[in-house]
Amino acid sequence: MNGGLLVAGTTSDAGKSVVTAGICRWLVRQGVKVAPFKAQNMSLNSFVTREGAEIGRAQAMQAQACRVEPTALMNPVLLKPGGERSSQVVLLGRPVGEMTARGYHGGRQERLLGTVLDSLAELRGSYDAVICEGAGSPAEINLRRTDIVNMGIARGAGLPVLVVGDIDRGGVFASFFGTVALLAPEDQALVAGFLVNKFRGDVSLLEPGLDMLHGLTGRRTYGVLPFRHGLGIDEEDGLRVSLRGTVRESAVDPPVGEDVLRVAVCAVPLMSNFTDVDALAAEPGVVVRFVDRPEELADADLVIVPGTRGTVRALEWLRERGLADGIARRVAEGRPVLGVCGGFQLLGEHIEDDVESRAGHVEGLGLLPVRVRFAREKTLTRPVGEALGERVEGYEIHHGVAEVLGGTPFLDGCRVGHTWGTHWHGSLESDGFRRAFLREVAAAAGRRFVPAPGTSFAALREEQLDRLGDLIEQHADTDALWRLIESGAPSGLPFVPPGAPA
């Protein structure tokens, strides 16, 4: 078997990442050797592979759904926004420069199609099936000429296309029809059919519409997935704690101690890898929320300043909003604060940045004895160490190089009192370390909170992925899906006018 499928969507956030992960987990449970693929991802949530390549976190989680190690081939192009108009371009896991959207779509993107197709071909040569995820909508007619992630990759690799629509938003039938009708005949020939996502209620009430859609487009619907709370995997972007909803529903045990622990995460601009706090939200009795006002820090037992693609910009934002003063008061009172990556850097004494913001010398918050200099070479590593008497694993993605001048060593950073700073993302996923850290936070905050002894974040992730696989197995026509992956789009699919504009 050398199968493939492109999971496209009527819109962004239609459920492409979730459906791709679900199909991957369903296939691997059938004994199929499968890999995920997304030609081009735009996200500030990224991950470091074992070979030191940076890829989108969604593809790393899809690789986990496949029970394989993630590689750069699974996400050959990653765009990391640095502002309203520009992004860092990461090619095969390594940054190659900054580019405006106009410059990228004006020619650079087309030149990457060969790299993308080569990466996909290499994966297909090593796996029985590759399940690809599109981006946005395949009917973005203004971008079709330079497309390398939707119909461009589908046509280049001869992939059948399954279009996912979020019925919870409304207008799903119009979205399905319009998506097909705005594609060129050659692209339409690859669109095999549809998958309805997030349906609530009696499916029999939907069936007449599905029959009419089939009559209008000549394409069938491969399944209707019911609405389930908290079925997201690691988010590409946004302000949601991606596992919080699921964990709150599946981990129904009450707090072990008498108190809950409240965590406030500063919603800094260009926030990156906010998935770091998912592991805290997985703990019974830990309440995590994002905040952007100083008064929201008052009742927090722990304040986290997360990673950001714009450290200097985030520092300015904290000062403008009064959050910087609120954090400084907490530190003076001995109340817990944790800075991660960019959040760690801005807690230091000063920053020399001629790379990211090009602001030169900038005074930090002065809450940790650290000086930061931005290097042009990006640090991409998967460190392993020990803190608070527990083994810790993490990953690093940063241009800033920290010179630690004092305090007590803490991972690659330091701590002073109850203020901690580190470049390590993902450290709180190490269960023993997370529990030890929360015990320290609870003691400093005067809370009678006790971490649950049996919470395994890795097990919760596996449970999540299995639930996604169950959705596909129970609510999709898996026999038809298998034929689609194995044999490609059905022949003779009708053209739906008007097609793409000339």
Q: Would you state the pLDDT for residue 243?
A: 40
The answer on pLDDT for 246 being more than 60 is: no
Q: Would you state the pLDDT for residue 105?
A: 61
Return d(Cα 268, Cα 264) in angstroms, integer: 12
Q: What angle do CA 104, 39, 276 make, to 5 degrees?
A: 95
**Cα atoms in the 13 Å half-sphere on the side-chain side of 426:** 20
- State the Cα torsion 291-295-297-299 to the nearest 10°: -120
Please indicate whether residue 341 is annotated as part of the active site. yes
Q: Would you state the pLDDT for residue 106?
A: 61
How is residue 205 annotated by DSSP? G
pLDDT mean over 182-194: 98
pLDDT mean over 186-211: 95
Which of 392, 237, 252 has its CA nearest to residue 309? 237
Q: State which amino acid sits at residue 224.
A: V
Average pLDDT, the chain: 92
- In 284-369, which ranges are E strands? 286-291, 302-305, 307-308, 337-340, 350-353, 360-363
At 350-383, the pLDDT tens digits run 999 998 888 999 999 999 999 999 999 999 999 9
At 74-114, the pLDDT tens digits run 999 999 988 667 889 999 999 988 877 666 666 677 688 99
Among residues 66, 341, 418, 423, the one annotated as catalytic is 341
The answer on pLDDT for 253 being more than 70 is: no
* Percentage with pLDDT > 70 across the chain: 93
The answer on pLDDT for 120 being more than 50 is: yes
Identify the residue with better confidence: 478 or 356.
Answer: 478
Q: Would you state the pLDDT for residue 315?
A: 96
Among residues 418, 423, 425, 475, the one annotated as catalytic is 425
Q: Would you state the pLDDT for residue 102?
A: 67
Structure tokens at 481: 């899906």
Q: Would you state the pLDDT for residue 111?
A: 80
Give the pLDDT band of residue 249 (cuts 50, 70, 90). Answer: very low
Phi, psi for residue 489 in degrees, rounded to 5: -65, 145
pLDDT mean over 419-443: 97
The CA R_g of the chain, rounded to the nearest whole Å, is 23
Give the pLDDT band of residue 241 (cuts 50, 70, 90). Answer: very low
**Which residues share a beta bridge with 291?**
266
Unique residue bearing structure tokens 């699919």: 493
Cβ distance 396 to 424 under 8 Å? yes
**Cα atoms in the 13 Å half-sphere on the side-chain side of 282:** 24
Give the pLDDT band of residue 228 (cuts 50, 70, 90). Answer: confident
At 15-56, the pLDDT tens digits run 999 999 999 999 999 999 999 999 999 989 999 999 999 999
pLDDT mean over 438-454: 95
The answer on pLDDT for 190 being more than 80 is: yes
Give the pLDDT band of residue 2 (cuts 50, 70, 90). Answer: confident
What counts of helices (H) and strands (E) characterise the chain?
A: 17, 27
The answer on pLDDT for 438 being more than 70 is: yes
The answer on pLDDT for 248 being more than 50 is: no
Q: Would you state the pLDDT for residue 244?
A: 39
Return d(Cα 490, Cα 160) in angstroms, integer: 8
Maximum C-alpha span of the chain = 72
At 58-68, the pLDDT tens digits run 999 999 999 99
The answer on pLDDT for 301 being more than 70 is: yes
Please indicate whether residue 418 is annotated as part of the active site. no
- In 267-395, which ranges are E strands? 271-272, 286-291, 302-305, 307-308, 337-340, 350-353, 360-363, 370-381, 384-387, 390-393
